[in-house]
């Protein structure tokens, strides 16, 4: 590979010549690897010369000291593929990525430690980052342009000016990158306001802006901080993300964003966020919390330039026309044959209640007090708290202290009440009569840790405080961690009760694999698994009504889908459609 030089002076310079960055965001970890080439070919065909990606720490180090860089997480393969296609790469290896991703990409195991402080000069946090970087950077270093790779820029932290003003922390992050072999120029990215640019700036690092409108106005503010350097929008927001219950799929203003893109390329440089959004597979959606919890849906379509499934949009054509004013558009042959398939309706084949298979899926931990997920070395999914009601004569009031995010509560394995978000902050009135020794079960769902703002530090899931019954604290619990990474242990012969959380199995045959979309109409709330792969969450409140299934996840012959549903709201079937429906 031929070595090169990338520099920041009054502009960006590649091997001594001015270089206009026309980039699009593609997150390798939100797309099956079999489709990386397709998405990157389409990016190149639009006229882009660069691809940008975040690096999700929580995926690469799912357990402390255990690292994963294979399959969907093979970042080296993704970067080298971009190079093969003639694209340069911007890498954002911040420990924090935001990205509407679970906990902003921070690993949940950080919260196992009492008193953990994030994104500041707090030694246990910094030490965890050091250990992560000592494994990540040996992968990234040889991929830099100075070593013959395509990586031309790296970013220090991410939108730090929105979060805090610990400049010593930012200097530490920068030095960590340098100490681990970062040689390409470094940038920061912040909101285009004086306050955030001032809080997030770093000596010797180019500040860039993140915004989706008013390009001239935003660049004028940014110009005050670049010390004569180039102007770049590192996140040109072309759409927005959806959260459950938001009333409909969010869409950007195409006419305005097309004008903004034109102005951006006239004045400086751009990274389009997102070129393709992809999917929050598994339990990886993030959440926001302002007045209430707003967990993001499984689709990260973002109203991006390509759809979640990689389809062209009107936006693609409009942007390609604009980009064609600033560079010669290449001829690209798309090499991946992608079909969409309707596999029809699938009937429920087998079903079993969660309560019947608890001991197959989890070994309970006993404690006087309820313990949150993180203290039990669990990061994602559900956790069930169980205790016997031996002294209580009845139940009239219940309150869960320090609980996140949603709790389905059962007495004698019958539904009592479901509490969500702010309902968990107060005492609930209930009515339950039972015989002494009846079981109280509390199934708590982690709906996605907050990925932005000060509430990140209070994102322990499950129950971190206590359970109060009729005014007194109730002790002695058994806790079942349910990350659902072992569903092969399910025994569907163990029995089923209507109205309780349960698992539902569907089987179908595939002759030719095609992209398809799981329609969960008639089902309440839960998550779906295809051949053991966690497709993500569903919820009847929408806006998303179908889950994306990329063809490479299907096998020729027999395929198996398992739905887990928490609210006792089910239908006799699901269907696999050829078209998406994200609201």
- With H, G, I as helix, E, B as strand and everything else as coil, classify residue 118: coil
Same domain, 105 and 186: yes
In this structure, what token pair is assigned to residue 331? 């001829």
Of 297, 195, 177, residue with least CA distance to 249: 297
d(CA 482, CA 381): 6
d(CA 322, CA 257): 11
Longest dimension (CA), the chain: 81
d(CA 509, CA 341): 13
Same domain, 167 and 108: yes
Per-residue model confidence (pLDDT) at position 359: 98
Q: Which residue range is the domain that position 516 belongs to?
A: 344-352+491-577
Same domain, 53 and 103: yes
- With H, G, I as helix, E, B as strand and everything else as coil, classify residue 339: coil
- With H, G, I as helix, E, B as strand and everything else as coil, classify residue 92: strand
Evaluate whether 79 touches 150 at the Cβ level (below 8 Å).
yes
- With H, G, I as helix, E, B as strand and everything else as coil, classify residue 19: coil
Of 537, 583, 559, 544, residue with least CA distance to 281: 537
509 is catalytic: no
Give per-residue pLDDT as tens, 140-162: 999 999 999 999 999 999 999 99
Same domain, 272 and 163: yes
Write phi, then psi, for 317 (nearest 5 degrees). -65, -40
Evaluate whether 486 touches 532 at the Cβ level (below 8 Å).
no
d(CA 405, CA 504): 24
In this structure, what token pair is assigned to residue 234? 């590192």
Per-residue model confidence (pLDDT) at position 448: 98
Per-residue model confidence (pLDDT) at position 1: 65
Is 582 among the domain residues?
A: no
In this structure, what token pair is assigned to residue 360? 């197959």
Same domain, 462 and 497: no
Per-residue model confidence (pLDDT) at position 2: 85
DSSP 110: G
- The CA-atom distances, in angstroms, between 580 and each of 206, 300, 314, 483, 520 are 40, 13, 17, 27, 12
d(CA 107, CA 396): 38
Task: State in Å, rounded, how far the first CA of the chain is from the last one.
Answer: 46
- Beta strands 88-92 and 151-155: pairing type? parallel
Is 361 among the domain residues?
A: no
d(CA 339, CA 335): 13
Write phi, then psi, for 26 (nearest 5 degrees). -135, 115
Give per-residue pLDDT as tens, 411-445: 999 999 999 999 999 999 999 999 999 999 999 99
Is 58 among the domain residues?
A: yes
In this structure, what token pair is assigned to residue 35? 């489709």
Same domain, 27 and 127: yes
* 437 burial type by CB count under 10 A (0-12 exposed, 13-18 middle, 19+ buried): exposed
- Beta strands 502-510 and 406-411: pairing type? unpaired
Of 539, 535, 559, 538, residue with least CA distance to 548: 535
Catalytic annotation, pick one of 61, 157, 235, 374: 235
Q: From 415, 444, 475, give the residue that closes a domain.
A: 475
Same domain, 259 and 348: no
d(CA 26, CA 23): 10
Is 7 among the domain residues?
A: no
Residue 261 C-beta-side C-alpha neighbours within 13 Å: 30
- With H, G, I as helix, E, B as strand and everything else as coil, classify residue 63: strand
Q: From 442, 475, 508, give the residue that closes a domain.
A: 475
Q: From 475, 499, 518, give the residue that closes a domain.
A: 475
Is 332 among the domain residues?
A: no
Residue whose entry in the numeric block shows the structure tokens 């009569």: 433
Same domain, 553 and 439: no
Evaluate whether 239 touches 250 at the Cβ level (below 8 Å).
yes
Is 463 among the domain residues?
A: yes
Same domain, 308 and 394: no
Residue whose entry in the numeric block shows the structure tokens 């969409």: 340
CATH number at residue 379: 2.60.120.260
Catalytic annotation, pick one of 100, 159, 392, 565: 159
DSSP sequence for 361-426:
H---EEESS---GGGGT--SSEEEEEEEESS-SEEEEEEETTEESEEEEEETTEEEEEEEGGGGGS
Same domain, 178 and 286: yes
Same domain, 502 and 424: no
Same domain, 92 and 219: yes
Evaluate whether 462 touches 385 at the Cβ level (below 8 Å).
yes
Counting the structural domains of the chain, the total is: 3
Sites in the chain below the pLDDT cut of 50: none
41 is catalytic: no
Is 174 among the domain residues?
A: yes
The helix or strand, by DSSP H or E, that contains position 573, with its residue range, turns out to be strand 573-577
- With H, G, I as helix, E, B as strand and everything else as coil, classify residue 287: strand
Of 263, 234, 258, 262, residue with least CA distance to 12: 234
CA angle at residue 392 from 386 to 398, to 5 degrees? 65
Is 330 among the domain residues?
A: no
Evaluate whether 410 touches 440 at the Cβ level (below 8 Å).
yes
């Amino acid at each position: 590979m031929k070595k090169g030089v990338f520099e920041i002076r009054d502009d960006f310079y590649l091997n001594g010549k001015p270089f206009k960055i026309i980039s699009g965001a593609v997150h390798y970890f939100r797309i099956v690897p079999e489709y990386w080439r397709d998405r990157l070919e389409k990016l190149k065909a639009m006229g882009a010369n660069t691809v940008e990606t975040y690096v999700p720490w929580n995926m690469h180090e799912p357990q402390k000291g255990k690292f994963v860089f294979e399959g969907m997480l093979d970042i080296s393969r993704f970067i080298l593929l971009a190079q093969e296609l003639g694209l340069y790469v911007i890498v954002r290896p911040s420990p924090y990525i935001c990205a509407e991703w679970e906990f902003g990409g921070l690993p949940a195991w950080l919260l196992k430690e009492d008193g953990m402080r994030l994104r500041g000069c707090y030694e246990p946090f910094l030490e965890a980052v050091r250990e992560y970087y000592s494994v990540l950077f040996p992968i990234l270093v040889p991929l830099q342009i100075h070593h013959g790779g395509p990586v031309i820029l790296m970013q220090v932290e991410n939108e730090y000016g929105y979060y805090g003003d610990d400049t010593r922390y930012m200097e530490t992050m920068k030095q960590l990158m340098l100490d681990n072999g970062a040689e390409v120029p470094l940038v920061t990215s912040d909101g285009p306001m004086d306050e955030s640019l001032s809080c997030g700036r770093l000596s010797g690092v180019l500040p860039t802006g993140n915004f989706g409108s008013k390009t001239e106005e935003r660049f004028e503010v940014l110009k005050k901080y670049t010390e004569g350097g180039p102007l770049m929008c590192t996140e040109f927001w072309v759409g927005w993300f959806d959260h459950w219950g938001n009333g409909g799929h969010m869409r950007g203003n195409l006419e305005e964003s097309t004008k903004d893109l034109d102005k951006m390329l006239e004045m400086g440089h751009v990274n389009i966020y997102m070129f393709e959004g992809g999917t929050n597979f598994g339990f990886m959606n993030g959440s926001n919390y302002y007045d209430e919890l707003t967990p993001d849906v499984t689709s990260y379509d973002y109203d991006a330039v390509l759809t979640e499934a990689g389809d062209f949009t009107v936006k693609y054509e409009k942007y390609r026309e604009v980009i064609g004013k600033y560079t010669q558009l290449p001829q690209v042959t798309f090499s991946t044959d992608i079909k969409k398939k309707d596999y029809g309706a699938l009937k429920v084949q087998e079903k079993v209640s969660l309560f019947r298979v608890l001991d197959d899926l989890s070994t309970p931990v006993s404690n006087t007090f309820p313990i949150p997920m993180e203290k039990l070395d669990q990061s994602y999914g559900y956790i069930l708290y169980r205790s016997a009601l031996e002294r209580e004569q009845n139940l009239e009031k219940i309150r869960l202290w320090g609980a996140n995010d949603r709790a389905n509560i059962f007495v004698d394995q019958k539904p009592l009440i479901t509490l969500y978000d702010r309902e968990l902050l107060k005492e609930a009135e209930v009515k339950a009569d039972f015989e002494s020794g009846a079981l109280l079960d509390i199934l708590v769902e982690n709906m996605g840790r907050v990925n932005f703002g000060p509430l990140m530090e209070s994102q322990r899931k499950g129950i971190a405080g206590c359970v109060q019954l009729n005014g007194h604290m109730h002790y002695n619990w058994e806790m079942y961690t349910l990350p659902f990474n072992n569903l092969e242990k399910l025994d569907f012969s163990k029995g089923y009760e209507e109205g309780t959380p349960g698992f539902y199995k569907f089987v179908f045959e595939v002759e030719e694999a095609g992209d398809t979309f799981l329609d969960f109409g008639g089902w309440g709330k839960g998550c779906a698994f295809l051949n053991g792969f966690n497709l993500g969450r569903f919820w009847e409140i929408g806006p998303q009504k179908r889950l994306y299934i990329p063809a490479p996840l299907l096998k020729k012959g027999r395929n198996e889908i398992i739905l887990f549903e928490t609210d006792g709201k089910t239908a006799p079937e699901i269907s696999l459609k050829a078209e998406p429906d994200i609201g």
